[in-house]
Amino acid sequence: MDNKIDLHRIADLRKRIEYHNKRYYQQDSPEISDAEYDLLMRELQDLEEKYPEARSESSPTQRVGAAPLARFATFNHPSPMFSLANAFSNEEILDFDNRIKRLSGADNISYVAEPKLDGLAVNLIYENGVFKKGATRGDGTTGEDVTQNLKTITSLPLKMKDLADTPIPSFIEIRGEVYIEKKPFQQLNMRRTEEGDEPFANPRNAAAGSLRQLDSRITSRRPLNIFLYGIGNVEGVDFSTQWEALQLLSRLGFPVNQHIEQAKDMNACIKYFERIGAIREELPYEIDGIVLKVDSLDLQKKLGNVSRNPRWALACKFPAAQAMTIVKKIDVQVGRMGTLTPVAIMEPVNVGGVMVSRATMHNEDEVLKKDVRVGDTVVIQRAGDVIPEVFRVIFENRTGHEKPFQMPDHCPECGSEIVRYEGEVAHRCVNISCPAQLKEHIRHFASRGAMDIEGLGEKVSAQLFDAGLVTDPADLYFLTKDQLMALDRQAEKSAQNLIDAIAKSKNPLLDKFIYALGIRHVGERTAKLLAERFGSMDNLISAKQEDLTAINEIGPEIAASIVEFFHEHKNIDVMNKFSKAGVSPQKKEIQANAPLQGKSFVFTGTMESMGRNEAKTIVENLGGTIHSGVTKKTTYVVAGSDAGSKLDKAKSFGIKIISEDEFLKLIGK
């Protein structure tokens, strides 16, 4: 390859990496995996090393991430936030250690080793123990001010613990990683898919998209979490090692990853890398490797950094959990809300220790964007417990006999016409009698968060529908034991247990019943708001759109969905059938002359005697209400240990602040 071709390749790599930086850092919508991105960056670094005259300050190798989005206020980091150089083998890890020894003149180096979470890096500013500002990493110098959104993360202390033996810094920058655990990520994507929203590509992008919402109320409903892993500038406290800094953060009440360890030498680092890799699948969150940091802060300072990377730290990446297979066909599944989801059916292949033969493609746009065809050789990627995905097509393996995918015009289950509403990515079957939707609807109705009918799972729901015994949820209440015993694997005892469980559900709480109906966009939180506002199904059924939008948190789209549901005559027929069966939803009863009637509470800090959910239930049962934020109308602010900024706001408004003991007396405990 001659010099001109190399220089052309450098320009092409820079352009591609800048494009992918924008997709990853600004749009939270990556098109390639971290592993493929790392390969592009490594190739560019090697070429710039080979041709020093081609180096440029504007090259992606010389900076971190991407510029902050204009929609957020910018925040200048008091000290730079660097990204890390990567290693992909033991040899590269050993090279890093040898380089540190050579630059420092030391015979042995002690490190701190930690899991490398796949999240969004943030910088937090605390003054005299109180959280003041928080920002994304951005380009390493300037980030996006996401202070209000960070405050919604319940694991992030708004005020440091005040301990007699632990000094509080007058000023400190704390670096952390915002992330979403695997199981909450799956649940979040299931809700988004059911409601017709595009699912997040991975937990990292879900976390980034959630933290960068302009409305912090949306952020507060996302299952964000955070680990703190380092510091920048600090005043008022001295420590000499990275390990000491982490111990201080932990004592001050910050969540520090329990798997972080000191490693006395590089041999211990290699063993740590292997040990964490072995338990990777068991962790509740995604990691893509480990991070090694020189423990001595003086040595960190001496080593400094090169371009965008500190010389004293290294990201050691695990091999990507990927495999190649062939797409045999692309099926289309119909969900509870009528959403059509393409599913790739493949030759079974082992991906990260799990045999995979199916991969969800989410929607038609994703299939077309990746150009996945029946007969294609594809790369399948599986990360942790996340559903396997078709990552990319091996186009060079195409023979010309592959068949492009086309979304059907009619529902594969019932034959009804398929529609795609303007502004949505999902195709839908709008036939509410569609068998696939009805099966899912019955299962949802009986699920734990809804009517909680024990013994009525997916298989039994499908059996009941296929046998023609249940065509809508109200039919459940007309079943007999003899009908159930006629089903496969339904003995007399199990049949009677199911009959009893169905009968037991006839007087559900109103909010549970509303959620069980499966109204589009109505989750558990919205169902509770509707129950509190309308008090009965009759009132909700007759509600107009303006009545619904008058409720805080309910916008025009949700309101329209509710009105449309109760204007459908088949749904009203089902409601009448519920009444005939004796199903009578009950509004949560508040005792007469309830002691907390009309009083509102805000909790801040940690309760020692009970959890927040228990306290919330007690307050609501005694007639009170719980709010997440302090307003001038708040009656009480209950201050537990490590109370945060809500305390200061309550004082400024002159609101009564009570201790946990005073709260317990108030509720009669």
The whole-number pLDDT of residue 51 equals 81
Per-residue pLDDT tens digits for 10-34: 888 888 887 787 676 556 566 776 6
Choose the weakest-confidence range: 19-23, 184-188, 630-634: 19-23
pLDDT at 425 over 60: yes
pLDDT, greater one: 258 or 54: 258
C-alpha to C-alpha distances, 18 to 172, 209, 349, 370, nearest whole angstrom: 32, 19, 34, 20
* Strand boundaries in 60-184, DSSP class E: 74-76, 86-87, 111-117, 120-127, 130-136, 142-144, 171-179
Exposure b/e, 102-111, CB count within 10 A at least 16 = b: eebeeeebbb
The whole-number pLDDT of residue 505 equals 94
Q: Highest mean pLDDT: which of 202-206, 246-250, 307-311?
A: 246-250
pLDDT at 651 over 50: yes
Under the banding of pLDDT at 50, 70 and 90, the label for residue 384 is very low
Give the burial class of 171: count Cβ atoms within 10 A of its Cβ; 0-12 exposed, 13-18 middle, 19 or more buried: middle
The whole-number pLDDT of residue 556 equals 86
Structure tokens at 9: 């390749």
Per-residue pLDDT tens digits for 80-96: 998 898 888 888 999 99
In sequence order, what are the residues at sequence separation of 6 or more whose Cβ sits closer than 8 angstroms to the Cβ of residue 562?
Answer: 519, 521, 522, 530, 540, 543, 548
CA distance 59 to 120: 22
Across the range 429-445, mean pLDDT stands at: 83
Q: Highest mean pLDDT: which of 231-240, 384-393, 443-452, 622-631?
A: 231-240
Domain spanning 322-413: CATH superfamily: Nucleic acid-binding proteins (2.40.50.140)
The whole-number pLDDT of residue 1 equals 42
C-alpha to C-alpha distances, 528 to 132, 347, 513, 551, 629, nearest whole angstrom: 33, 45, 10, 11, 18
pLDDT at 456 over 50: yes
Across the range 489-494, mean pLDDT stands at: 83
User: Is residue 437 within a helix (H) or strand (E), and if so which, with residue range?
Assistant: helix 435-446
The whole-number pLDDT of residue 195 equals 67
pLDDT at 517 over 70: yes
Q: Where in the chain is the domain with CATH 3.30.470.30?
A: 78-317
Across the range 156-161, mean pLDDT stands at: 89
Under the banding of pLDDT at 50, 70 and 90, the label for residue 587 is confident
Nearest to 361 by CA among 394, 399, 405: 405
The whole-number pLDDT of residue 406 equals 92
Report the share of the chain in percent with pLDDT over 90.
39
pLDDT at 385 over 50: no
CA distance 335 to 358: 16
Structure tokens at 236: 């008022």
Nearest to 621 by CA among 586, 599, 591, 600: 591
CATH 3.30.470.30 fits 78-317, yes or no: yes
Strand partners, 120: 178
Per-residue pLDDT tens digits for 637-646: 998 876 766 7
Across the range 383-407, mean pLDDT stands at: 83
What φ, ψ does residue 425 adopt, rounded to 5°? -90, -15
Fold of 3-62: Helix Hairpins (1.10.287)
Nearest to 447 by CA among 293, 336, 521, 361: 336
The whole-number pLDDT of residue 307 equals 65
Under the banding of pLDDT at 50, 70 and 90, the label for residue 265 is very high
In sequence order, what are the residues at sequence separation of 6 or more whose Cβ sits closer than 8 angstroms to the Cβ of residue 450?
Answer: 444, 512, 513, 515, 516
The whole-number pLDDT of residue 548 equals 93
Phi-psi region of 369 (alpha: psi -120 to 50; beta: other; left: phi over 0): alpha
The crossing angle, in degrees rounded to 10, of helices 34-50 and 3-21 is 140
Under the banding of pLDDT at 50, 70 and 90, the label for residue 111 is very high
Q: Where in the chain is the domain with CATH 3.40.50.10190?
A: 600-666
The predicted model scores a pTM of 0.53
Q: Where in the chain is the domain with CATH 1.10.150.20?
A: 435-581
* Domain 600-666 architecture: 3-Layer(aba) Sandwich (3.40)
The whole-number pLDDT of residue 52 equals 79
The whole-number pLDDT of residue 398 equals 92
Across the range 574-603, mean pLDDT stands at: 84
The whole-number pLDDT of residue 140 equals 86
Choose the weakest-confidence range: 397-401, 624-628, 657-661: 624-628
Across the range 274-280, mean pLDDT stands at: 89
Q: Where in the chain is the domain with CATH 1.10.287.610?
A: 3-62
Per-residue pLDDT tens digits for 521-573: 888 878 888 998 899 999 999 999 999 988 877 888 889 889 988 988 888 99
Contact assessment for residue 574 and residue 478, using Cβ atoms and an 8 Å cutoff: no
Domain spanning 435-581: CATH superfamily: 5' to 3' exonuclease, C-terminal subdomain (1.10.150.20)
What radius of gyration, in Å, describes the C-alpha atoms of the chain?
28
Across the range 198-219, mean pLDDT stands at: 81
pLDDT, greater one: 289 or 389: 289
| Mean of pLDDT over the chain | 86
Structure tokens at 48: 């710039």
CA distance 241 to 253: 19
The whole-number pLDDT of residue 590 equals 58
The whole-number pLDDT of residue 501 equals 93
Across the range 386-398, mean pLDDT stands at: 84
Under the banding of pLDDT at 50, 70 and 90, the label for residue 489 is confident
CA distance 343 to 334: 11
**Active-site residue (options: 15, 22, 116, 577):** 116
Catalytic residue status for 116: yes
CA distance 364 to 360: 11
Cite the DSSP H helix spans in 447-549: 458-466, 481-485, 492-504, 510-516, 524-534, 537-541, 545-549
Across the range 146-170, mean pLDDT stands at: 88
pLDDT at 67 over 80: no
Under the banding of pLDDT at 50, 70 and 90, the label for residue 219 is confident
CA distance 148 to 76: 17
Under the banding of pLDDT at 50, 70 and 90, the label for residue 402 is very high
